[in-house]
Amino acid sequence: MSRTVYVNGAYLAEEDATVSIFDRGFLMADGVYEVTSVLDGKLIDFDGHAVRLERSLNELDMASPMGKDELLTIHRELVRLNNIDEGMIYLQITRGAPGDRDFVFPDPETTKPTVVLFTQNKPGLADSPVAKKGIKVISIEDIRWGRRDIKTVQLLYPSMGKMMAKKAGADDAWMIENGFVTEGTSNNAYIVKDGAIITRGLSNDILHGITRAAVLRFADEAQYKVIERNFTLEEAQQADEAFITSASTFVMPVVEIDGHPVGTGTPGQVATRLRQVYLEECKKNAI
Amino acid sequence: MSRTVYVNGAYLAEEDATVSIFDRGFLMADGVYEVTSVLDGKLIDFDGHAVRLERSLNELDMASPMGKDELLTIHRELVRLNNIDEGMIYLQITRGAPGDRDFVFPDPETTKPTVVLFTQNKPGLADSPVAKKGIKVISIEDIRWGRRDIKTVQLLYPSMGKMMAKKAGADDAWMIENGFVTEGTSNNAYIVKDGAIITRGLSNDILHGITRAAVLRFADEAQYKVIERNFTLEEAQQADEAFITSASTFVMPVVEIDGHPVGTGTPGQVATRLRQVYLEECKKNAI
């Protein structure tokens, strides 16, 4: 049976789910998105994603098409309809389909935002075998636009980066700008040195990860020293541990960078512990 | 009567023209485009656009869905069906709709590119009243990604730039990077000083304009001195003339930059002459 997805108020079979060719998401990448994980059939960090979505919309002068409660209702309905125990819910909002192509924004009174949601069923997401062996990353230049804090659908370069990693026999790419690591293709990047967790501070240069915020809070509560500062690729290669965080990978150890093993070349204690704490705490607060 | 548009082999009423929500153009801005002008019912610079399209596809490891002849047939059929005398034809090709979202490119054997074309009827395009008084531009920071030579649908920032211009009472924005003008939001930028035409050289920093190539060729033939080099905003404000080129505006005089009149604050001789020459020559070679 096919997935049931949500498009502009309707629950549809995925084969029937379409948008106009004049949708500004399709023609101009004029849209934002969020991905929320589902564990035990419940939403992880939903509030955080809803708040960031609102911020992304505001930054682009895009009206919010619905309140948090309605958004939550749709998320839950999709979980129910598709019987998701572990997986993700993807949400995209664009500036809508004004009926013709124009660089000028359409009148929001007549052109309503396009709202699309769909589920991705991922049994075993929490108890991932990948987390037990860690991932390998390569480094690539960060040539994305300057507002990476806005979660837009301009994902061509991250997608290209993932392909570069795949061709190099790795799992993901860390992006480098002015000599410093910014982030992964769809995740925030961290290293651990002498017991301290080091990650780039928030700015327009990186995504303000919802998982990042939660993990740093839990790290703090667990008495880890957290330092928010830029770090270089060389520093990362010489670190004791490295890891990434994202809504769908939670905390994932990085064991190799550009062919160079990090620490022992196996998942480190801090990353492993943080993954465990994050999953426990998030499940407690899942809705 | 509504427009007839083209989507993946079918000629459809525009209201019925849709793409899957899983199209990578919609989810990830993984697509490229071209805009070809129509004058007297004929295509302007079609070959140039077809060659650049091929290059854009190659740069993104995307297969070309059809040859130049088939593309030409579709363009001409849309001109005929929609009775276009003056206007534009928009063409977009994306990496297709693999049926689920994934940063990894789909297998090109099973996921075929999405091909969309539609017309825009613009009577009076060549004899534009705007060209007689010129346009006003503001300057904005260029924060786009690093591969502007690939004509991708990542047009959010150019669209935001157009809105910034509109709010400032201007018509367009010139983008500035490291102190130099890169280009306009959807056009190449030029100044004229002491009889010489100055425009930024080709690199990954700017679009390799089809109209740019033709205009520089005609300028050369008309014995103008053409210098390809970076220029600053201050230099532009102190220039004798300024103008832009694009497939849909041809050659368009710029008479004001950030509130500062350029030259006499009216369309200059060089821009006016080049517009005339470009239109004459292109109409001769239109197909």
* Together in a domain, A270 and A152: yes
Distance from C-alpha of B54 to C-alpha of B89, rounded to nearest angstrom: 17
Specify whether A132 is catalytic: no
Q: Which of B100, B121, B142 is the last residue of a domain?
A: B121
**Helix axis angle, A68-81 to A46-59, nearest 10°:** 120
Question: For residues B72-109, b (16+ Cβ closer than 10 Å) or e, as one string?
Answer: bebbbebbeebebebbbbbbbbbbbbbeebebebbeee
Mean pLDDT of A190-213: 98
pLDDT at A1: 64
Q: What is the pLDDT of residues B69-98, one digit of tens each?
A: 999 999 999 999 999 999 999 999 999 999
CATH code of residue A63: 3.30.470.10
Burial A153-173 (b: 16+ CB within 10 A, else e): bbbbbbbbbbbebbeeebbbb
Number of independent structural domains in chain B:
2
Tokens of B114: 């999405």
User: Quick count: other Cβ atoms within 10 Å of Cβ B149?
Assistant: 17
CA B163 to centroid of chain Cα atoms: 17
User: Are residue A155 and residue A91 in the same domain, yes or no?
Assistant: no
Backbone angles phi, psi at B121, to 5 degrees: -80, 120
3-state secondary structure at position B210: helix
User: Does residue B11 carry a pLDDT above 70?
Assistant: yes
Determine contact: A157 vs chain B, CB below 8 A: yes
The kind and range of the H/E element at B281 are helix B269-285
Listed residues A67, A99, A121: the one ending a domain? A121
A18 pLDDT higher than 90: yes
Is the predicted pLDDT of residue B280 greater than 70, yes or no? yes
Phi and psi at B99, nearest 5°, equal 95, -10
Chain A residues touching B17 at Cβ < 8 A: 20-22
Crossing angle of the two packed helices A269-285 and A210-221, in degrees rounded to 10: 110
Q: Is any Cβ of chain A less than 8 angstroms from the Cβ of B75?
A: no
Nearest to A166 among B27, B104, B116 (CB): B104
Are A253 and A154 in a shared domain? yes
Residue B164 sits at the chain A interface (C-beta within 8 Å): no
A82 touching chain B per CB within 8 A: no
Cβ–Cβ under 8 Å, residues B185 and B175: yes
The pLDDT-based confidence of B17 (bands split at 50, 70, 90) is very high
Residue A119 has what pLDDT? 98
Residue A20's pLDDT band (cuts 50, 70, 90) = very high
Same-domain status, B167 and B115 = no
Beta strands in A142-236 (DSSP E): 172-177, 180-184, 188-193, 196-199, 225-228
Pick from A224, A267, A261: which is nearest to A249 by CA? A267
B234 and B151 in a common domain = yes
Question: Same structural domain for residues B148 and B221?
Answer: yes
Query: What is the Cα–Cα distance from B266 to A141, expressed in whole angstroms?
Result: 43
Interface of A with B in 2-31 (CB under 8 A): 5, 7, 14, 17-30
CA–CA separation, B115 and B271 (whole Å): 36
**ipTM over cut 0.90:** yes
CB contact under 8 A, A153 and B27: yes
* Residue A230 and residue A161 share a domain: yes
Could you read off the pLDDT of B90-129 as tens digits, one per residue?
A: 999 999 999 999 999 999 999 999 999 999 999 999 999 9
Write out the residue range of the structural domain in which residue B116 sits.
Answer: 4-121
C-beta atoms surrounding A220 within 10 Å: 12
Q: Which of B14, B27, B94, B144 is the mutation pick for testing A, counting most A CBs within 10 A? A: B27
Pair (B109, B141) in one structural domain: no
Q: How much is the pTM?
A: 0.97
Assign residue B207 the CATH number of its domain: 3.20.10.10
> What phi, psi does A190 have (nearest 5°)?
-140, 150
The pLDDT mean for chain A works out to: 97
Domain co-membership, B135 together with B269 = yes
Phi-psi region of A63 (alpha: psi -120 to 50; beta: other; left: phi over 0): beta
Amino acid at residue number B113: P
pLDDT of residue B1: 63
B88, two tokens: 């534009």
Answer yes or no: do B181 and B107 share one domain.
Answer: no
A71/A73 Cα distance (integer angstroms)? 5
What residue in A sits closest to B121 (Cα-Cα)? A100
B261, B137: one domain: yes
Q: Do B112 and B163 fall within a single domain?
A: no
* CB B143, CB B133: distance < 8 Å: no
Q: Which of B103, B121, B139 is the last residue in one of the domains?
A: B121
- Provide the pairing of β-strand B18-20 with A4-7: unpaired
Place of tokens 């994603």: A49
Min Cα–Cα distance to chain B from A177, Å: 12
